[in-house]
């Protein structure tokens, strides 16, 4: 006789991580939630949460420099863009777009991201409720 090992779906746990006043635009807060190191960033007024260990070699990615990227639509035409949306790893300089989790170079693995209440992709879902920022752990 087969056992029914079907488990009830687990709801993400909503965990308070900060107040909006703690993370102004361009700033971050790194928290430990159930053994996971997570960086909460305010990217232009939207909050994103990113897994801290870098997918390359485990550096504390969320301690990296927040910057922008050079983009080009055609040869010889370059401009600096996405200011405040690119996170550069402090160890080897891999860069990730915090709004998508994608590596800027396009060949490195993307960083794990979690949903956010706003339209950005995050490692964990982030919600803002009356000035309190919550992350949902899956």
CB of residue 61 to ligand FES, shortest distance in Å: 6
Write the DSSP assignment of the chain as a string of letters. -----PPPPPPPEEEEEEEGGGS-TT-EEEEEETTEEEEEEEETTEEEEEESB-TTT--BGGGSEEEEEEEEEETTEEEEEEEEEEEE-TTT--EEETTT--BSSSSSPPPPEE--SSSS--BS-EEEETTEEEEEE-
Nearer to ligand FES, 56 or 82 (CB): 56
- Please, which contacts does 42-45 make with residues 24 or more away whose CB atoms are closer than 8 Å? 43/84, 43/85, 43/98, 43/99, 43/120, 44/84, 44/85
Q: Does 102 contact ligand FES by CB under 6 A? A: no
Member of 92, 109, 129, 131 binding ligand FES (CB under 6 A)? 92
Q: Does 98 contact ligand FES by CB under 6 A? A: no
List the interface residues with ligand FES, window 44-73 (CB under 6 A).
Answer: 54, 56-57, 59, 61
CB of residue 67 to ligand FES, shortest distance in Å: 14
CB of residue 51 to ligand FES, shortest distance in Å: 12
Nearer to ligand FES, 41 or 134 (CB): 41
CB of residue 90 to ligand FES, shortest distance in Å: 7
Positions in the binding site for ligand FES (CB under 6 A): 54, 56-57, 59, 61, 89, 91-92, 94
């Amino acid at each position: 006789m087969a056992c029914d090992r079907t488990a009830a779906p687990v709801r993400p746990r909503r965990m308070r991580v900060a107040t909006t006043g703690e993370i102004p635009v361009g700033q971050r807060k790194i928290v430990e939630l159930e053994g996971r190191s997570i960086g909460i960033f305010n990217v232009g007024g939207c909050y994103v949460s990113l897994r801290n260990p870098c997918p390359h070699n485990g550096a504390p990615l969320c301690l990296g420099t927040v910057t922008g990227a050079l983009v080009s639509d055609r040869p010889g035409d370059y401009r600096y863009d996405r200011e405040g949306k690119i996170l550069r790893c402090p160890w080897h300089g891999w860069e990730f777009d915090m709004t998508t989790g994608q590596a800027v170079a396009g060949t490195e693995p993307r960083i794990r991201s979690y949903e956010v209440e706003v339209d950005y992709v995050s490692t964990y879902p982030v919600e803002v409720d009356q000035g309190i920022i919550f992350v949902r752990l899956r």
